Structure 1
Amino acid sequence: MELINVIIDGKSIAVPKGATILSAAESLGISIPTLCHLQIGGNGYKNDCASCRICIVEVEGRRNLAPSCATPVHEGMIVKTNTMNVMQKRRTLMELLLSDHPKDCLACSKNGECELQDLAVQLGVREVRFEGEMSTYRPDYSASIIRDMDKCIMCRRCETMCNEVQTVGVLSGVNRGFTSVVAPAFEQNLEDSVCTYCGQCVAVCPVGALHENDHTWKLVKDLANPKKKVIVQVAPAVRVALGEEFGGKPGVNVEGQMVTGLRQLGFDEVFDTTWAADVTIMEEASEFKDRLERFLAGDKEVKLPLLTSCCPAWVKFFEHNYPDMLDVPSSARSPQQIFGSIAKEIWAKEEGIAREDLIVVSVMPCLAKKYEASRDEFKVDGNPDVDYSITTRELAKLLKQANIDLRILENSEFDSPLGEYTGAGVIFGRTGGVIEAATRTAYEWVTGETLEEVNFKALRGFDGFRSATIKVGDLDLNIGIAHGLGEARKMLDMIRAGEANYHAIEIMACKGGCVGGGGQPFHHGDFSVVTRRAAGLQNIDDNKILRKSHENKFVQDLYKNHLGKPLSHKAHELLHTKYFSKHKI
């Protein structure tokens, strides 16, 4: 590797050829303020369009100031990052940004977490000298995401995430000059575009231009309504991330304290989506076994590979981009929707509660879950199976508003029976977890043998697109795993072209899986945060006594008392769904 010698603020360093001034300065421990720059995800993507210019520095021999995030070093380069000229110009740039930015910080969804706000404080900006006309745009409301482009600073992070990492291609800069804005083509609404609601654009937005559609105030009203029975389910990935909002480290399991906090908020029952994940495996593993056996028997009508269907962002991506393959994914609903269906159609009836009087709330690491809950196929006579889906961040804000400090709460357990889970259910929250859980059950059902070693380590890892061969009796099962929609597109294009043959595939829309979801605490591009959350889930699985979904006694009771067996008519009615072509020419 060729090294380049540079001097930054009097300090010498040798860095790889092609490195930027910003990365070289970081290697020396020198902090240069940035706004538009961001290292994205775990595969080296970065937003380096240099649109904000806040990171400007002086380079000896260069007449103008250089954006450090986009300027490569050269041999013998001498850089100064902290001259009076640099500091003055940064403040001026910040004032120009603020001059066309709303001043409603106190009511902004990003207040307290706004990078523009933080940088203004860091640069000591206390007044804005520039006044004039301000750009205004209509707000865009969707089931999951709200676009408030008056607050957009044209950093283009969302573009990089949407176009390069996720390859969804919804967001781009349109128009010119004062009317320029980041928007879908023809400035259409998100709900009319091919947006998947993965929420990764929200996760990287430094201001309040993109934020989740917040349902917490509606929830508060229901919690205060004595006529309503309000229950909550919590996704696996939430418990290893929620603590970060209270100063904890990523990956620390705060399950017990979280349950206590939810009870203090006033929920009548606190259940676990992980229980529904075990139910999901009962259906998906049964479906896989059925397809596999028919395929091996020579049935040419069988569709393989079977694709897991737990991620609503991935499902919407599939419906838009692969309408010719809609019969390939498993028809099993996601754990969120399975829980809602069982809660309203079985549990509520056993408890003597009318469907319309039961409010089912889900706490999810995901923004697409809000959209999923609103889909018509998950409603009965207009009444949704899941009434509200709130994010990990929204739950944290709700707890803080109620003056509930998670750090000092005692541990308590989920309510039964919809709160009991196995290790297989909890790893749904990390990449490779769904297919590993399904394989644990499918192995025993296909071979008729007890699986002693449940750790399918070949299915683990963080490569965006990976393959593994798993020995199941005399069969060699080829399994594909992708996380991040860009990686999913590569895999699906290969399958469509006949260039790859798999028996089963797991796809998750977000890098790292649900632990890296768009509704999790902001990690600002630090992928190590995501991997630590995943490790936290794996630690829970490692320490569970029961680690196969079909061993869950309360799931067994569900089938014994209500569903009969997996793939039964009743199971299909309550636990399965259909997919719809959303292809647009």
Structure 2
Amino acid sequence: MLFSEPIIKIDPELCTGCRRCAAVCPVDAIIGEPGKPQEVDAHRCVVCGQCVQICTVYAADSLESGDNLKNKRLQRGQLPSVREPLFAAYSAGQVPEVKRALADSALYKVVQCAPAIRVSLAEEFGLPMGTLTPGKMAAALRHLKFDRIYDTNFGADVTIMEEGTELIGRVMSGERLPMFTSCCPAWVKHAETAAPELLDHLSSCKSPMQMVGALVKTYGAKQNGVDPAKIYSVAVMPCTCKEFECSREEMEVDGLREVDVVITTRELAQLIKDAGIDFVNLPDEPFDSPLGIYSGAGSIFGVTGGVMEAAIRTGYELVTHETIPNLQLDFVRGEEGLRTATAQLGDLELRVAVVAGLKYVSEILKQVKEGTSPYHFIEVMGCPEGCVSGGGQPKLLLETLRKKAYQARKSSVYRHDSHQQVRKSHENPAIIKLYKDFLGEPLGHVSHHLLHTTFHSREKMSPNQALGVKED
């Protein structure tokens, strides 16, 4: 899906200029005078959607009763059945396109869901915050007529295999340290814009979403006996920037887009409601094999510190060849802000940092630029508490409710991890089989072709290019 216009927008007819969006923007991308409609600076914007989450200004009743409302819903990519308020700040949606594709019998429809979706989707149907519903989610997606229900958590496990191996190689050689994670597209876009000279410090791994997308149209296509060109690959994400990520030119495999379209948690809820599915009373159903099998480590990617914790669980055993004594690594868990720690991997003291919220990354970047950074590995997530607080998650107007929701979602993610029989990525049997039958080894020729990418400076790009707008 290549976008012809920006993803994050502010409606000038609705915006009152309260500048709450400017206060929450981590990269100062909101421009405007107080009391007047605001605009998004295309070059600075990282498409994180936090402005969408915090906006409380919505269309008046007089507007909602006329054709103007219908036109605005159409422009925003919403289904006619949507009844939620129209807020000034919003993200452009793709639900109508997905609905059309689901009705096309010539397409083989595949969907994947991010770790944070299963702990937030239920809120859209009146269930308590943090309710864990992976089984109901899989069932709803089958009712929507997807042919295969896969899981981004599987891609998270693959990411640990690739990224963990890459990290150990860099630590042992002392080259390009510290290594930053590359899972968060908002962080990647910010690095390309604000610190392009440091891009060699990012892991070359694609995000779990894009890894699953690449595997769906190669490994998965072979498993299912399907022509990759007929596969329509959908990703359900808590993140508005994932729509930007899937449109990047680099994100294709053998001439095909890895992920054709991304919808958010809120948009999936819209699809389910539009289809008249009784989500609350759905019996649980499983994800499809093999790209739907995951470990507890894969599930914790949805919270801040989760990538770091999953990597250490596997990294410890790769380095020491011993079983890690404790799987609950509290020293990397936490909330918004910057956290640092030292992880003992046998004789190796791995110095790590976790950044939750892009506004906290500037000091880290300064240290790396000056060559004074003491860290080996740095996780950066653009949103305040990781993906559970993403711009595409269920919207809550009160700050107290948002904090309550984030905590409930995080607790649910950790509970899901603790209940998994397999809690380390390298012990996931589907991952073991993937490497044995298809990829070969981490960082090998096949995995490098499918699962790794390059990043590039956005300093000299036009504003439209920086925001991911296709130009003629």
Which one of 3, 9, 26 corresponds to residue 146 of structure 1? 9
Distance 1:390 1:565 in 2: 32
Distance 1:312 1:142 in 2: 18
**488-497 vs 504-513, greater mean Cα deviation:** 488-497
**444-453 vs 283-292, greater mean Cα deviation:** 444-453
Distance 1:487 1:256 in 2: 36
TM-score by length of 2: 0.87
Q: Give % identity.
A: 43
Deviations 1:359-395 (A, max 9, x none): 0101000000000011111124763110110000000
Question: Any conservation in 2 of the 1:512–1:531 contact (CA below 8 Å)?
Answer: no
SS in 2 for 1:396: helix
1:336 matched to 2:206: no
Question: Any conservation in 2 of the 1:465–1:491 contact (CA below 8 Å)?
Answer: no
User: Residue 496 of structure 1: CA displacement?
Assistant: 2.3
The residue aligned with 2:30 is: 171
Deviations 1:34-65 (A, max 9, x none): xxxxxxxxxxxxxxxxxxxxxxxxxxxxxxxx
Question: Any conservation in 2 of the 1:250–1:532 contact (CA below 8 Å)?
Answer: yes
1:246 matched to 2:122: no
User: Residue 203 of structure 1: CA displacement?
Assistant: 0.9
Question: Any unmatched runs of 5+ in structure 1?
Answer: 1-139, 296-301
1:293 matched to 2:156: no
SS in 2 for 1:236: coil
1:268 matched to 2:147: yes
Distance 1:479 1:381 in 2: 36
SS in 1 for 2:229: helix
Question: Any conservation in 1 of the 2:232–2:260 contact (CA below 8 Å)?
Answer: yes
What letter is aligned with 1:569?
Answer: H
What letter is aligned with 1:256?
Answer: G
User: Residue 260 of structure 1: CA displacement?
Assistant: 0.7
SS in 2 for 1:361: strand
1:156 matched to 2:156: no
The residue aligned with 1:558 is: 434
What letter is aligned with 1:202?
Answer: V
SS in 1 for 2:116: helix
Distance 1:498 1:328 in 2: 12
Which one of 305, 313, 323 corresponds to residue 178 of structure 2? 305
User: Residue 493 of structure 1: CA displacement?
Assistant: 2.1
The correspondence of residues 95-134 of structure 1 with structure 2, limited to 5 A, is none
TM-score by length of 1: 0.71
SS in 1 for 2:327: coil
Which one of 554, 565, 577 corresponds to residue 453 of structure 2? 577
The residue aligned with 2:69 is: none
Distance 1:434 1:219 in 2: 30
User: Residue 448 of structure 1: CA displacement?
Assistant: 1.4
**444-453 vs 320-329, greater mean Cα deviation:** 444-453
Distance 2:424 2:253 in 1: 32
Distance 2:22 2:446 in 1: 44
Q: 1 or 2 for the larger relative contact order (CA 8 Å, sep ≥6)?
A: 2
The residue aligned with 1:315 is: 188
Deviations 1:10-49 (A, max 9, x none): xxxxxxxxxxxxxxxxxxxxxxxxxxxxxxxxxxxxxxxx
The residue aligned with 1:299 is: none
Distance 2:317 2:94 in 1: 42
Aligned Cα RMSD in Å? 1.7
What letter is aligned with 2:367?
Answer: M
Question: Any conservation in 2 of the 1:237–1:429 contact (CA below 8 Å)?
Answer: yes
User: Residue 356 of structure 1: CA displacement?
Assistant: 2.1
Deviations 1:198-248 (A, max 9, x none): 111111122322212211111111110110000100000000001111111
Deviations 1:469-522 (A, max 9, x none): 111101211100011110122322233234431010100000110000000001
What letter is aligned with 2:229?
Answer: E
SS in 2 for 1:153: coil
**348-357 vs 432-441, greater mean Cα deviation:** 348-357
SS in 1 for 2:352: strand
Question: Any conservation in 2 of the 1:143–1:370 contact (CA below 8 Å)?
Answer: no
User: Residue 143 of structure 1: CA displacement?
Assistant: 5.0
Distance 2:124 2:388 in 1: 14
Distance 1:375 1:143 in 2: 13
The correspondence of residues 20-39 of structure 1 with structure 2, limited to 5 A, is none
The residue aligned with 1:431 is: 304
Question: Any conservation in 2 of the 1:373–1:386 contact (CA below 8 Å)?
Answer: yes
The correspondence of residues 132-531 of structure 1 with structure 2, limited to 5 A, is 142=5, 144-162=7-25, 166=26, 168-174=27-33, 180-184=36-40, 190=42, 193-206=43-56, 207=58, 208-295=87-174, 302-380=175-253, 383-524=256-397, 525=399, 526-531=402-407
SS in 2 for 1:258: helix
SS in 1 for 2:129: coil
Distance 1:352 1:546 in 2: 29
Distance 1:423 1:234 in 2: 15
SS in 1 for 2:236: strand
Distance 1:143 1:381 in 2: 27
User: Residue 422 of structure 1: CA displacement?
Assistant: 0.3
Q: How many residues align?
A: 427
What letter is aligned with 2:119?
Answer: V
SS in 2 for 1:310: coil
Question: Any conservation in 2 of the 1:437–1:548 contact (CA below 8 Å)?
Answer: yes
Distance 2:6 2:434 in 1: 32
User: Residue 145 of structure 1: CA displacement?
Assistant: 2.2
The residue aligned with 1:568 is: 444
Distance 1:340 1:220 in 2: 19
Which of 1 and 2 has greater Rg?
Answer: 1
SS in 2 for 1:466: strand
Distance 2:213 2:336 in 1: 33
Distance 1:380 1:147 in 2: 34
What letter is aligned with 1:226?
Answer: S
Distance 1:354 1:253 in 2: 34
What letter is aligned with 2:136?
Answer: Q
What letter is aligned with 1:537?
Answer: V
Question: Any conservation in 1 of the 2:303–2:387 contact (CA below 8 Å)?
Answer: yes
User: Residue 584 of structure 1: CA displacement?
Assistant: 4.6
SS in 1 for 2:143: helix
